[in-house]
Structure formats: structure tokens, C-alpha cells
Amino acid sequence: MRENSVENPTFDTVAALWLEQIKTRVRLSSYAQYKAKLEKNILPYFEDMRIRELSGSTVQSFYEQLLQEGYNGRYAADMLSQLKMVLRFAASEYGLPDPSVNTRPVKTAAAACREAPVCDEAGYRRLCEILMMGSDRTKAGILLTLLTGLRIGELCALRWSDIDLERRILTVRRSLQRVSAGEENGLIFSAPQGRAGEREIPLSPFLAGFLGRLREEGDVFFLSGTDKPVEPRTMQYRLRALLKREGMPDLSFSQLRGLFISRSVNRGADLTALTEVLGNVTVQSAVVYCQKPTMDSKRRAVELVGEA
């Protein structure tokens, strides 16, 4: 605990100390995200306040304001989680009460607002048809995420040497991100997210055949066909431009990944196997995408065991 030379520090003072403290404990890309969110959303709301002036209602009001400003529930829950980290740090370092202790749990808020992307069966089939037209690398990359659940950073870092078409296996080895964190600025390659991030993903016979027709010579990046990668924000822009041009609903790469999860879960995929395909996703988080069970589906589940 710090000596109480500062009995009632301002929020921005504590936040700066917290940010400096975590810099050596998290990945550079994670640090950059924490820093960006702190500067964009949290500091403008709290920086002139002193820690002792904060209450549970102040914390909850911050979360609710984010929702009112149009941020989705998942993002608002992430902001609340980061705010709670700063306030726990203040409690530990300065011996101050933590005003976020009795606020709404972040996990509950995130789970309540997490929804599978809106795309019916007809829309899904139409999207697949669009992506399979021609030999466009951008379309192929979008299709790869739609059919394997790759994250956008993993897709942008993918090289042809990571794809074994004979064995029908795609290996996730790295991720590409743009960061802005002090002296480190620009594109960086890092290990895939989480302990299970580096993984092997089996390819369906259809997808392996489709990729075989696009095969590039040499160990080049999948999306560019050169030694220079396509960065994530460029791919996100291309996805939205494509969907707009084709008159399709707007979707992000995260939503494409969610669509892959929801379709897999609702078609009976083994959840443990699915979490390994996705990397760093728990069975509980995959279950969120399950459709509400009907009486017929519950009856089939019971009848699978048979009579005693």
C-alpha cells in the first residue's frame, strides 16, 4: 500500500499509475487497447473526480451512459470491467474504499447483451454464394472466417505455409494487430490470443477444394499474395464495402465469428471440440449462442439415453 501522502487522489492520477503498472504484465497489444479505451471513454467521464467522491451509483451511471450513447452492450461491459480494475488498484494502493464492489457484475452484463448476429438461413446462403464467386482474395478470407471462426487478426497474419491442403488442416500461429502504445506504434505480429490461441483447425473437403483453386506460389500472405500483409482495419473496411455493395446487412468480422459459433452449436457440434477450434473460448461462452430448446429437442435429449 502506498503511504497516504495523497489521501484523496484524482481519478486520472490513479488511472495513470494503474496503466504504468500493467504495462509489464500484459501483451503490448492488450496494453494499447487498455490505453485507448481509458483515453477515449473512461477519463473524459471521471478525470476531474476524486476517488473518495465516487460511489456505486456513479460507476453504474457511467455504464448506462455508454449504452445511451449507442455503444453495444459488450463494449460497455468491457469498459465497466476496466473501470473496476482501476478502482480495485486504488483500493489496494491507497487503502481507499472500492465504490464498484456492489455494482452490477460485469459477466452478467456481458452475457445479457451478447447476441448472435442477425442473419437468417437465406441471408447466410446468399452471403456464401457472393463469397464463392470468382477468385477474389478478400472474399476468400471472409469465407474462411465464416466457415472456421478465425479472428480478423489471425486471418490477416495467415500465410500459405499455414495451410496444409493435403491433410486439410489450417494452423493458427500468429495474429496481426495495429497498436499505438508509447514508442511502439504500427503493425505488430504476436502470438494468437489466449493460451489456446495457437491451434490446428480442420478444413472441410469443400473448403480445402475451394482454397486449392486459389493456391499461391511461395510462402506469401493469404490475403495479399505478397510478403506484405493486409491489416485488420483494411479488411474490416473491405467487408463492409462488399456487404453494402451487395445489399447485405452490415456485419463485422466478430459477428462472422459469432455466426460460425451459432451455426455450429445449433447443428449439434461437440462444444469441447468447438472451443478448441475457436481458441480461448469457454464452453459456457459458446452455449450463449444456442437457440432456446423446444420440447421436441428436450424430448430427444432424454430419449438418447433410452429406457432403463
pLDDT (0 to 100) of residue 1: 47
**Least confident range of 100-114, 147-161, 170-184:** 100-114
Average pLDDT for 138-152:
94
Q: Which helix (H) or strand (E) holds 164?
A: strand 163-164
Confidence class for position 291, pLDDT limits 50, 70, 90: low
At 206-219, the pLDDT tens digits run 999 999 999 888 88
Per-residue b or e along 18-29, where b marks 16 or more CB atoms closer than 10 Å to that residue's CB? bbeebeeeeeeb
Q: Where in the chain are the domains? A: 11-113, 121-287
Q: Do domains 11-113 and 121-287 have the same CATH topology?
A: no
Q: Whole-structure pTM over 0.95, yes or no?
A: no
Average pLDDT for 187-215:
86
Residues whose CB falls within 8 Å of the CB of residue 286, separated by 6 or more in sequence, listed in order: 261, 265, 271, 274, 275, 278
Of 77 and 160, the one with more pLDDT: 160
**Whether residue 113 has pLDDT greater than 50:** no
Q: Is the dihedral of CA 85, 178, 72, 61 positive or negative?
A: positive
Of 50 and 48, the one with more pLDDT: 50
pLDDT (0 to 100) of residue 195: 65
Residue 102 identity: N
Confidence class for position 110, pLDDT limits 50, 70, 90: very low
Domain over 11-113 is classified CATH 1.10.150.130: yes
**How far apart, in whole angstroms, are the C-alpha atoms of residue 203 and residue 212?**
12
pLDDT (0 to 100) of residue 114: 47
Q: What is the CATH number of domain 121-287?
A: 1.10.443.10
Location of C-alpha cell 445489399: 247
Average pLDDT for 214-226:
90
Cβ–Cβ < 8 Å for 50, 11: yes
Crossing angle of helices 56-68 and 73-94, rounded to 10°: 150
Of 110 and 177, the one with more pLDDT: 177
The C-alpha cell at 99 is 465504490
**How far apart, in whole angstroms, are the C-alpha atoms of residue 301 and residue 43?**
50
At 256-284, the pLDDT tens digits run 988 898 888 888 888 888 888 988 666 66
